[in-house]
Chains A and B, each alone.
Chain A
Amino acid sequence: MNEIEQLQYKLKNLTSLIDVTSIISSTLDLEELMNLVMEKAQEVMSAEASSIMLLNEESGMLECQIALGSVQEKVKDKMQLKVGQGIAGWVAQTGESVIVPDVSTDTRFFSDVDQNTGFKTKSILAAPLKVKGKVIGVAEVINRLDSLPFTDENLEIFTTFCRQVALAIENARMHRFMLEQQRMEQQLESAHQIQQSFMPQSFPDSENDKYLIYGTNIPATAVGGDLFDFVEIDSDHLGIVLGDVSGKGIPAALFMARLISDFRYYCHIAENPVELLNFLNDALLKRSHRGMFVTLVFMILNKETGHLIISNAGHLPPLWYRQRHKKVEIVDLFSGIPLGIMPDVDYNEYMIQMEPGDALLLFTDGVTEAKNSKKEMFSLNRLIDIFKKPKKKPQLIIDNIVKEVRGFQGTGNQHDDITLLAVRWQECKKSKLQQLIQSK
């Protein structure tokens, strides 16, 4: 080549590189991108065919993703090579580019592809696709149209092409990964909203202002396995439940969803809390999966008298603030084993009489086992100390506990779901008639 020809050649190469760069920035569709770039490469090298093989990290095989030329249908998505097998395999193994002027004299050449397709490979130019020094695939152009072997100039421009392509493939993969992650996040966000909708959005009203009730659930991940719920059993009785499914995340959340629906159904059939726990235990045992179980407290509040019947299936004991003594009692004398472990369990009932100013607190271990940066636990004692100074409204009691737990955790992550529920029996209010008599 004389000087002018060399300059023209370099200009042509530069133009084709600019073309490749604009192709790469035009699309994030990986297949479209690889097709366009290889078309360009084939055109610049004046080659008969070309291919891109990408390394499947799981299988360790080079898989043909793009094939251009007369036999592309027979090769694309069908041809696979081991690393080290054939010219492409050699390039993947060594990470080096290669010009093979005549494949018939090169022992590395793998002739099975030609035999299967009827294509006649004469010469090859192959280069690795590398990202941060790691081979992710191999690109090849095959047979120059003028039947001459590929030149060092061809190799130089092809290697530059391949560097661009490798980066573009990596970008497209990252983009796909991010889209997939976004999709998962959106699905988890929907799952979170659906799960929250299973739990009460409003709290039962006390028609006579005798009691107030409030609960909250804060899952550690988007979805969790804690639950609380209320069911109006009849005009005088309110069923209240709080529980914790073993494990975390999606399996626990699905288990919890089914449990709430079972709870609502059996609440209207069971005669008493013990019978309800037996119904739930039988239902869970029938679909026992990987040892999953539930700890749960169920209670029935008499809305007129403040009488509470409580049954506990292996759950942390309720705390009872007694206004009369200004003390917190741990109500833990009667618990049975968690639900879903074995049949025919003897559950018990315990009765307490709420007095004006009393409050009852149910909670899950996400509260007492919340950890700070020193790995210390929040502990039952801390919870009792906070609950000892009860606020008048259950919402304030719970908001205050959540605030204290958050403060204790500091910047540490929440490891477990936090669920709290409080019932407060109100101070006696004088009837309007009594107020009228008193004022006179």
Chain B
Amino acid sequence: MELEVIKKEKFSILKLSGDVDLYSSPQVRKKILSLITKSNKNLLVDLAEVTYMDSSGVATLVEALQLTNKNSGTLRLYSLRDAIKDVFELSRLDKVFNIYENEEQAFEGM
């Protein structure tokens, strides 16, 4: 798993790639906690290169969602591959997260 951060004026972008699972999600969590601050409370997560996500990975995104909600910020996920989309749809988490098809749509209104 690899991660890359791009900081914009009003939000940060976290690009994840590879497997987000029990072993890699602590690293993702650490990064997310450092990115969501009171001054920069909006986070966009690019999942285009994520090939596998287990429930530990999903829990990390749930924590990010709870944190942005608490800070009145926004969390958006975008460019999910079909296998990752299935993970969210099967557990009905597509109803919980703001999920966008691509970067352009995810950036709209930010």
**Least CB distance, B48 to chain A, in whole angstroms:** 21
A317 — nearest CB in chain B belongs to which residue? B90
Proximity bits, A271-307, B CB within 8 Å = 1, else 0: 0000000000000000010111101000000000000
Partner of B96, one of A246, A249, A288, A342: A342
**Please, how many angstroms separate the alpha-carbon atoms of A316 and B96 in the complex?**
17
Q: Which of A40-48, A123-131, A332-340, A386-394 lies at the interface? A: A332-340
B residues 41-72 touching A (CB-CB < 8 Å): 54-56, 58-66, 69
**Please, how many angstroms separate the alpha-carbon atoms of A295 and B89 in the complex?**
13
User: Does A314 belong to the interface (CB within 8 Å)?
Assistant: yes
**Please, how many angstroms separate the alpha-carbon atoms of A3 and B95 in the complex?**
93
- CB-based contact A247/B22 at 8 Å: yes
- CB-based contact B95/A290 at 8 Å: no
**Least CB distance, A298 to chain B, in whole angstroms:** 15
Give chain B residues whose Cβ lies under 8 Å from the Cβ of A295.
91
**Please, how many angstroms separate the alpha-carbon atoms of A335 and B96 in the complex?**
13
Partner of B91, one of A290, A291, A338: A338
- CB-based contact B93/A338 at 8 Å: yes
Q: Which of A295, A316, A341 has the most CB of B within 10 A?
A: A341
Q: Which of A247, A315, A416 has the most CB of B within 10 A?
A: A247
Give chain A residues whose Cβ lies under 8 Å from the Cβ of B90.
316
Partner of B66, one of A246, A291, A315, A337: A291
Give chain A residues whose Cβ lies under 8 Å from the Cβ of B92.
314, 335-338
Interface contacts (Cβ under 8 Å), in number, total 58
**Please, how many angstroms separate the alpha-carbon atoms of A288 and B64 in the complex?**
13
Partner of A337, one of B55, B64, B69, B96: B96
- CB-based contact B93/A244 at 8 Å: no
**Least CB distance, B24 to chain A, in whole angstroms:** 13
- CB-based contact B59/A315 at 8 Å: no
User: Does B29 belong to the interface (CB within 8 Å)?
Assistant: yes
Partner of A291, one of B22, B61, B95: B61
**Please, how many angstroms separate the alpha-carbon atoms of A335 and B92 in the complex?**
7
Proximity bits, A96-115, B CB within 8 Å = 1, else 0: 00000000000000000000
**Least CB distance, A110 to chain B, in whole angstroms:** 40
A residues 214-236 touching B (CB-CB < 8 Å): none
- CB-based contact B95/A247 at 8 Å: no
Q: Majority SS of interface residues in chain A?
A: loop
- CB-based contact B59/A291 at 8 Å: yes
**Please, how many angstroms separate the alpha-carbon atoms of A295 and B58 in the complex?**
12
**Least CB distance, B46 to chain A, in whole angstroms:** 19
- CB-based contact A341/B96 at 8 Å: yes
Proximity bits, A407-423, B CB within 8 Å = 1, else 0: 00000000010000000
B residues 1-60 touching A (CB-CB < 8 Å): 22, 29, 54-56, 58-60
B69 — nearest CB in chain A belongs to which residue? A342
- CB-based contact A337/B95 at 8 Å: yes
User: Does A248 belong to the interface (CB within 8 Å)?
Assistant: yes
- CB-based contact A291/B96 at 8 Å: no
- CB-based contact A247/B29 at 8 Å: no
Give chain A residues whose Cβ lies under 8 Å from the Cβ of B54.
416
Give chain A residues whose Cβ lies under 8 Å from the Cβ of B58.
246, 291, 293
- CB-based contact B59/A247 at 8 Å: yes
- CB-based contact A337/B93 at 8 Å: yes
- CB-based contact B96/A290 at 8 Å: no
- CB-based contact A247/B55 at 8 Å: yes
**Least CB distance, A45 to chain B, in whole angstroms:** 51
Q: A337-B92, A337-B95, A338-B91 are in contact. Are A293 and B56 (CB under 8 A)?
A: no
Give chain A residues whose Cβ lies under 8 Å from the Cβ of B56.
246-248
**Sample (6) of A-B pairs whose CB atoms are under 8 Å apart:** A247-B56, A291-B59, A291-B61, A291-B66, A295-B91, A342-B69
Beyond A247-B55, A290-B59, A291-B64, 7 additional pairs, beta carbon < 8 A = A248-B56, A291-B63, A295-B91, A336-B92, A338-B92, A341-B93, A342-B96
Q: Give residues in B with beta carbon < 8 Å to A.
A: 22, 29, 54-56, 58-66, 69, 90-93, 95-96
Q: Which 5 A-B pairs rank lowest in CB-CB distance, beginning with the nearest?
A: A291-B63, A291-B62, A246-B55, A291-B59, A314-B91
